[in-house]
């Protein structure tokens, strides 16, 4: 099937005003970092330098944590739940009002298609703030305090470190429940995607959020480590790699800090022979090529029942041939840019390993732009469970295909991983869906759908995909002390 010829339909950049340099957002004000360090943020689709971003050093982390502590003791913990909620409602409304600006900026800084930042990321950000805004004055109904105690109490200062794949959405997942429950936060965005977090800081100012309740400090891994290990932090929330998650689990050992971790995945997307094929193909594509595969819960291992293997592969390749890879700001684009040169190198390396280990590589025939970081949608067949591409998280648009004969074999292969974040099941048989959902050791099971998110729906992993849940009533537990007499 040939691609339809579409004229380019680029979203205008005029709505965003990117400054040449950004400071740190501490105690309600933008300030220069103590050491004066900075790094550059790059548009991954063009390699154009977007801005200089302040690099927070130890003294800055100290200042940010001190500001959050002061705001916690003097302001935020004294505020009623109703007023906390009203600030969050304000923020939600401002996100909606400035949604176009946020979406364009997200696509420029991250490389994801505008269709996705406009239709998925930013609407979910607003929805998250709306959802948790409503919880702020209802915490005693959440069933999280013991039978004898009253309203559950917040931890105090939360250190939050987020990844680059859904920059503003991950910020919302962290900040909305933390503030609703009465904590104050110091958040560090990923170093390649700081811009929407800094725009969010402006939104906090616009909402007249009391200074110090939200502090945003930019920097790389070292800044994150300093923040997480800061002695005056009570709670650590991290989304990112399992490797860093383990380091954080070690760093909080022996302390009273509570950690929640949302880490890597290697999800199986399981296609049974009675699955509605056209829907399943869309689900496979959405599962691994959504957001360039930069998704911790991506369906990166396709398990296809043997009897339909040929049909599924043929349809899948045909569909992949129609995906438009290119300018993230073009409204027709399906697959955008890889977020950074480092990530592109990692995807290339693991794909080369896949070939070297004997898997067969097929890439969608598409023209990639000359500048920027790009990787064509790629499918590996003849993959075995021992292959690194079937075991390691690639975090890119690369799908590994394996086969199975029986439901039990599908379950065994799906669960044969140290991860346990998500899984997909495609079948027309209701009882099989429910049986599979029980058997799969994963925190989220999408049946006849994939990569759906909602603020009311708890999300998080089993095993080495981390612990704690984000979203829903369960997401409150990550930010509240639960009374525990014994």
Partner 1 sequence: MTERLAVKKTYKLYIGGKFPRSESGRSYPVADAQGEFLANAAWASRKDARDAVAAARKAFPGWSGATAYNRGQVLYRVAEVMEGRRAQFVDEVAAGEGLSRSKAERAVDESIDRWVWYAGWSDKIAQVVGSSNPVAGPYFDFSVPEPTGVVAVLAPQSSSLLGLVSVVAPVLVGGNTAVVTSSYERPLPAITLSEVLATSDVPGGVVNILTGRVGDTAPSLAAHMDVNAIDLAGAAHDHGNATQLELAAAENLKRVIRAPEAEPDWAAQPGLNRITSFLETKTVWHPVGT
CB 159, min distance to partner 1, A: 17
Both tokens of 24, joined, read 């740190």
Please tell me whether residue 245 binds partner 1 under the rule CB under 8 A. Answer: yes
Residue 262 annotated as catalytic: yes
Residue of the chain from 84, 115, 413, 463 that contacts partner 1 (CB under 8 A): 463
Out of 106, 296, 464, 470, the active site residue is: 296
For helices 122-135 and 99-110, angle between their N-to-C axes, nearest 10 degrees: 120
Residue of the chain from 37, 134, 221, 458 that contacts partner 1 (CB under 8 A): 458
Please tell me whether residue 344 binds partner 1 under the rule CB under 8 A. Answer: no
CB nearer to partner 1: give 120 or 335. Answer: 120
Residues linked to residue 31 through DSSP beta bridges, in sequence order: 24
Between CA 169 and CA 89 the distance in angstroms is: 16
Please tell me whether residue 485 binds partner 1 under the rule CB under 8 A. Answer: yes
Residue of the chain from 366, 409, 433, 435 that contacts partner 1 (CB under 8 A): 433
Please tell me whether residue 467 binds partner 1 under the rule CB under 8 A. Answer: yes
CB nearer to partner 1: give 12 or 148. Answer: 148
Please tell me whether residue 321 binds partner 1 under the rule CB under 8 A. Answer: no
CB 434, min distance to partner 1, A: 8
Residue of the chain from 261, 325, 337, 398 that contacts partner 1 (CB under 8 A): 261
Between CA 313 and CA 40 the distance in angstroms is: 41
Other residues' Cβ atoms within 10 Å of the Cβ of residue 37: 16
Over the window 132 to 171, marking each residue x when it contacts partner 1 by CB under 8 A and - when it does not, the resulting string is -----------x--xxx-----------------------
Out of 11, 116, 262, 470, the active site residue is: 262
Please tell me whether residue 228 binds partner 1 under the rule CB under 8 A. Answer: no
CB 235, min distance to partner 1, A: 14
CB nearer to partner 1: give 86 or 246. Answer: 246
Q: Which stretch binds partner 1 (CB under 8 A): 26-34, 367-375, 392-400, 436-444?
A: 436-444
CA dihedral (348, 349, 355, 357) in degrees, to 10, reads: -160
Residue of the chain from 242, 343, 378, 381 that contacts partner 1 (CB under 8 A): 242
Residue of the chain from 2, 14, 253, 386 that contacts partner 1 (CB under 8 A): 253
Please tell me whether residue 466 binds partner 1 under the rule CB under 8 A. Answer: yes
Q: Which stretch binds partner 1 (CB under 8 A): 328-336, 372-380, 406-414, 450-458?
A: 450-458
Please tell me whether residue 363 binds partner 1 under the rule CB under 8 A. Answer: no
For the stretch 273-301, what's the b/e string if a residue is b when 16 or more beta carbons lie within 10 angstroms of its beta carbon?
bebebeebbebbbbbbbbbbbbbbbbbbb
Please tell me whether residue 473 binds partner 1 under the rule CB under 8 A. Answer: yes
Both tokens of 168, joined, read 């503003």
- Inter-residue contact 262 to 461 (CB < 8 Å): yes
Please tell me whether residue 326 binds partner 1 under the rule CB under 8 A. Answer: no
Residue 296 annotated as catalytic: yes
CB 228, min distance to partner 1, A: 13
Between CA 407 and CA 271 the distance in angstroms is: 10
Residue of the chain from 469, 476, 478, 479 that contacts partner 1 (CB under 8 A): 469
Between CA 247 and CA 222 the distance in angstroms is: 12
Please tell me whether residue 376 binds partner 1 under the rule CB under 8 A. Answer: no
Residue of the chain from 231, 250, 370, 431 that contacts partner 1 (CB under 8 A): 250
Please tell me whether residue 350 binds partner 1 under the rule CB under 8 A. Answer: no
Please tell me whether residue 484 binds partner 1 under the rule CB under 8 A. Answer: yes
Q: Binders of partner 1: how many residues, by CB under 8 A?
A: 46
Which residues belong to the active site? 262, 296
Q: Which chain residues interact with partner 1 by CB under 8 A?
A: 127, 143, 146-148, 242, 245-246, 249-250, 253-254, 261, 263, 418, 433, 437, 442-449, 452, 454, 456-460, 462-464, 466-467, 469, 472-474, 482-486
């Amino acid at each position: 099937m040939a691609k339809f010829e579409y004229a380019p339909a680029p979203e205008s950049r005029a709505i965003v005003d990117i400054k040449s340099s950004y400071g740190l957002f501490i105690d309600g004000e933008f300030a220069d970092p103590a050491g004066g360090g900075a790094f550059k943020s790059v548009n991954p689709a063009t390699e154009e330098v977007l801005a200089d971003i302040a690099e927070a050093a130890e003294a800055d982390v100290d200042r940010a944590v001190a500001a959050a502590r002061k705001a916690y003791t003097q302001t935020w913990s004294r505020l009623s739940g109703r007023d906390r909620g009203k600030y969050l409602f304000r923020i939600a409304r401002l996100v909606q009002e400035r949604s176009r600006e946020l979406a364009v900026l997200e696509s420029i800084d991250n490389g994801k298609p505008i269709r996705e930042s406009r239709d998925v990321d930013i609407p979910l950000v607003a929805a998250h703030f709306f959802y948790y805004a409503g919880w702020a004055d209802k915490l005693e109904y959440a069933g999280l305090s013991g039978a004898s105690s009253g309203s559950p109490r917040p931890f105090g200062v939360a250190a939050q470190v987020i990844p680059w794949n859904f920059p503003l959405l991950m910020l919302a997942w962290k900040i909305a429940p933390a503030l609703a429950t009465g904590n104050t936060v110091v958040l560090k965005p990923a170093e390649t995607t700081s811009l929407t977090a800094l725009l969010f800081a402006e939104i906090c100012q616009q909402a007249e959020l009391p200074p110090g309740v939200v502090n945003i400090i930019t920097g790389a891994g070292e800044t994150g480590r300093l923040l997480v290990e800061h002695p005056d932090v009570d709670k650590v929330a991290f989304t990112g790699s399992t490797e860093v998650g383990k380091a954080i689990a070690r760093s909080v050992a022996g302390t009273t800090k509570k950690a929640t971790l949302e880490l890597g995945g290697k999800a199986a997307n399981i296609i049974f022979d009675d699955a509605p094929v056209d829907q399943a193909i869309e689900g496979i594509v959405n599962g691994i090529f959504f957001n360039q595969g930069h998704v911790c819960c991506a369906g990166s291992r396709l398990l296809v029942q043997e009897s339909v293997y040929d049909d599924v592969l043929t349809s899948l390749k045909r569909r992949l041939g129609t995906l438009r890879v290119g300018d993230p700001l073009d409204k027709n684009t399906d697959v955008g840019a890889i977020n950074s040169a480092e990530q592109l190198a990692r995807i290339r390396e693991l794909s080369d390993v896949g070939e070297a280990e004997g898997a067969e590589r097929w890439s969608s025939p598409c023209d990639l732009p000359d500048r920027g970081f790009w990787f064509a949608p790629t499918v590996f067949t003849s993959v075995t469970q021992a292959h690194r591409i079937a075991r390691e998280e690639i975090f890119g648009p690369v799908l590994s295909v394996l086969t199975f004969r029986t439901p039990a074999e599908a379950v065994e292969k799906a669960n044969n991983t140290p991860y346990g974040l998500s899984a997909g099941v495609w079948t027309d048989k209701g009882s099989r869906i429910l049986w599979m959902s029980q058997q799969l050791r994963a925190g989220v099971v999408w049946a006849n759908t994939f990569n759906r998110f909602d603020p009311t729906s708890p999300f998080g992993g089993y095993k080495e995909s981390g612990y704690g849940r984000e979203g829903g009533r369960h997401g409150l537990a990550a930010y509240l002390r639960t009374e525990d007499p014994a």
